[in-house]
Amino acid sequence: MGESTLSATVTVANRQGLHLRPADLFVKTAKQFDAQIEVVKDALRVDGKSILDITTLGAAQGTQLAIIAIGEDAQAALDALVELIEQRLPQDDHEPVE
């Protein structure tokens, strides 16, 4: 057992980008894990468990982000967050989540 630091690069897939609701969903997912989560866009590096931090990125569709996970469950956290960003975010703000 040990702390691991892992990272993955993702491309924002949903048309509306990481606005408030995707940020909320991202944070809810991140908080299911103990790992510390950070999200990096260019020179900005923010807390992946804070909605306001995520929306500060202004990440539109097509933006590349790095997600960094630090902790024992880093791999599981990373897998869940990558899947969320690339596949599970609703396209439209008024669309329910599956």
Partner 1 sequence: MKFADFVNEEAIRPDLGASDKESAIREMVEALVAAGQLAEDACESIISAILKREELGSTGIGRGIAVPHTKHPSVERLVGTVAISQSGVEFNSLDGEPVALFILLISPPDRPGDHLRALENISRQLRDETFCRFLRQSKSVEDVKTLLEEADNNQFAS
Return the active site residues.
19
Tell me the C-alpha distance between 79 and 74, whole Å.
9
Nearer to partner 1, 5 or 91 (CB): 91
Q: Which of 4, 8, 13, 16 binds partner 1 (CB under 8 A)?
A: 16
Q: Residue 50 or residue 75: which is nearer to partner 1 going by CB?
A: 50
- Does the protein bind partner 1 through residue 42 (CB under 8 A)? no
Among 20, 32, 42, 83, binds partner 1 (CB under 8 A): 20
Using rule CB under 8 A, residue 48 touches partner 1: no
The interface region with partner 1, picked from 3-11, 51-59, 67-75, 77-85 by CB under 8 A, is 51-59
Mark 1-34 as b/e (b = at least 16 C-beta within 10 Å): eeeeeeebebebebebbbbebbbebbbebbeebe
CA–CA dist 9, 21 (Å, integer): 21
Q: Is 89 in the site for partner 1 (CB under 8 A)?
A: no
Quick check: helix, strand or coil at residue 42?
coil
Task: Let me know: does 59 contact 65? Beta carbons within 8 Å.
Answer: yes
